[in-house]
Amino acid sequence: MKLKSMLEVGAVGAASAFLLVACGNNSGKESSSKLIQWQQSANLTTLDASKVTDNTAFGTLNNSNEGLLISGENNTVKPGVAENYKVSKDGKTYTFNLRHSKWSNGKPVTAKDFVYGWQRTVNPKTASQYSYLFDHVKNATEIGKNKAPLSSLGVKADGDYKLVVSLTKPQTYFKYLVAMAPFYPQDEATVNKYGQSYGTNSNNMIYNGPFKVTGWTGTNDSWKLVKNNDYWNAKNIKFDGVKFNVQKDPNTALNQYQTGGLDIDTLVGKQQVGEFKNSKELHSAKGATTFYIEMNEKTNPVFKNANIRKAISLAIDRKQFTQDVLGDGSTPAVGYVAPGMSKRNGKDFTDDAGTKDGVSYNLSEAKKLWAQGLKETGKKSVNVSMLSDDTPNGKNTTEYLQTALEKLPNLKVTAQNIPFKSRLSRSQNGQFDMVVSAWGADFPDPISFLSLFTSDGSYNNGKWSNKEYDTLVQDAEGKDANNASKRWDDLVKAEKVLMSDQGIIPIYHQVTPRVIKPRVQGIQFFPTGSPYNLRDVTLSNK
């Protein structure tokens, strides 16, 4: 999702959703409000389904709008706007039968809204970073290259309540894609009404999900999800909504939680997690998420040198970092693709890929490669900046990396911690030397990670390029797509190429520790796709 970037990503295990059934002793003053008070470490960036990239926005959109299908437990999907669907024998045609649902202004949600929304996302003028997810939809790639008209996209309305999708080839994970925000319906009249300001605040928007967003100006530090009475299943939404409060100081946030001002707080650091070690209010969620460093080869040519990139990676002691700096249960990176997400014959993808060389710590070897890299590039010293978020974890990460990397002779690293929205913009525009990024899988398949770093990948912000890697990813999505064994081998080889050439530098796989008041029950956190689902939440007066 993000970039599903330096934000919390929830899940327990890669194969199951974490269904919160809160229990145990309470601490602090309790609220009887039917609004959940939820701490966030980063601001909301957009409500535009075509332009969303980060977890805060995905979480808000996933609960204020709805696609054909929605995420379910155990890596399943369940009916959303579509009551049911069928797939042709050749796997290339999906027919979705839509229920009679409404927008928050009372207008019906029709198949044409999906056609328009999908066309808008793949339209090159929209510049959606998620347009690549449509690549298997007929003519999407050609449209992206301005070689075919929008009207040729393989999605058609057959009346108001039937949507027919044509793929160029079978795609086993397509059902997961249509549950994602870029595949949501969009009301053309609303988009045209607000133009460039569409989705930039809660008023310039329309909703078809269980909640509506209110109180977001586009720049403020709080917003609400309030129950949408026009939602098709509104009678089964049992609470009033959520108020999100951005609080970047973890100590202030924890104090607010302990004194009853918050129902949900994300813990930061070993001390906070340790304080709740034996509490039933602590819920640690493991997601299919990897934090990594991108190096900008376009603006800083020194990063084109493989020995420079490998030296930087070898200088990072990931075990020390996760244990002593994060201390939240996050684990040292074993590669780029997160573990526990995908298996073949009972064996995890990361075991098959075996990419230890790209995530090892060896400072003496790092210094040797660094010296060799400096010689090859004709440099005597290197000065670079490292960009990251101004969240507590973002600051802790850059502080550690700055110290670790400056053990390489004549390397000067300047940390730049800025607001998430600004960091995201600078990452996407290539305005960095090094940047700490993160990616959480959109669906349970290694391609959700590996598709990012093809030479023309929309999230390949560092512009690393490797022809062998490109071919392997293309084969996995193309000629080998219907051969599970060959496809798996393609992806394993691609991961090995990415790590052996050190196209990026994985740091850790995230675990998100939260404390949640016992009165909050029924939140589902997912390892991939939608960050969380609020449709089944209930609040007690405990």
pLDDT tens-digit profile of 65-112? 999 999 988 888 999 999 999 999 999 999 999 999 999 999 999 999
CA–CA distance, 306 with 405 (Å, rounded to integer)? 16
Instruction: Examine the pLDDT at 288 and tell me if it is beyond 80.
Output: yes
CATH of the domain at 341: 3.10.105.10
34 falls in which pLDDT band (50, 70, 90)? confident
482 falls in which pLDDT band (50, 70, 90)? confident
Average confidence (pLDDT) over 11-25: 36
Higher-confidence residue of 71 and 34: namely 71
Q: Is 28 left (phi over 0), alpha (psi -120 to 50) or beta?
A: left
542 falls in which pLDDT band (50, 70, 90)? low
Q: What pLDDT, on the 0 to 100 scale, is given for residue 3?
A: 42
Q: Would residue 279 count as lying in a domain?
A: no
Q: What pLDDT, on the 0 to 100 scale, is given for residue 341?
A: 78
Q: Would residue 148 count as lying in a domain?
A: no
Q: What pLDDT, on the 0 to 100 scale, is given for residue 13?
A: 31
Q: Would residue 185 count as lying in a domain?
A: no
For residue 289, give the 3-state DSSP assignment.
strand
Contacts of 300 (CB under 8 A, 6+ apart): 384, 433
Enclosing domain of residue 320: 286-511
* Pairing verdict, β 93-98 and 162-166: antiparallel
Q: What pLDDT, on the 0 to 100 scale, is given for residue 527?
A: 85
Burial of 145 (0-12, 13-18, 19+ CB in 10 A): exposed
The tens digit of pLDDT for each residue in 519-528 reads: 999 999 988 8
Average confidence (pLDDT) over 23-29: 39
Average confidence (pLDDT) over 393-417: 96
Q: What pLDDT, on the 0 to 100 scale, is given for residue 56?
A: 92
As given in the structure block, the two tokens for residue 375 are: 């010689």
Higher-confidence residue of 10 and 37: namely 37
Alpha-carbon separation of residue 85 from 96, 97, 175 (angstroms): 4, 6, 10
Instruction: Examine the pLDDT at 116 and tell me if it is beyond 50.
Output: yes
Look at the chain and report how many structural domains it folds into.
1
The answer to whether 155 touches 115, Cβ cutoff 8 Å, is: yes
Q: Would residue 537 count as lying in a domain?
A: no
Q: Would residue 252 count as lying in a domain?
A: no
Contacts of 487 (CB under 8 A, 6+ apart): 475, 476, 480, 481
Q: What angle do CA 256, 325, 367 make, to 5 degrees?
A: 155
Phi, psi of 70 (to 5 degrees): -130, 155
pTM value is 0.82
The answer to whether 514 touches 427, Cβ cutoff 8 Å, is: no
Alpha helices (runs of H) in 151-268, residue ranges in sequence order: 174-177, 188-194, 250-258
CA–CA distance, 507 with 521 (Å, rounded to integer)? 33
Q: Would residue 520 count as lying in a domain?
A: no
Q: Would residue 528 count as lying in a domain?
A: no
Q: What pLDDT, on the 0 to 100 scale, is given for residue 421?
A: 85
Average pLDDT, rounded, for the chain = 92
420 falls in which pLDDT band (50, 70, 90)? confident
Q: Would residue 262 count as lying in a domain?
A: no
Strand partners, 225: 213, 242
Q: What pLDDT, on the 0 to 100 scale, is given for residue 16?
A: 34
146 falls in which pLDDT band (50, 70, 90)? very high
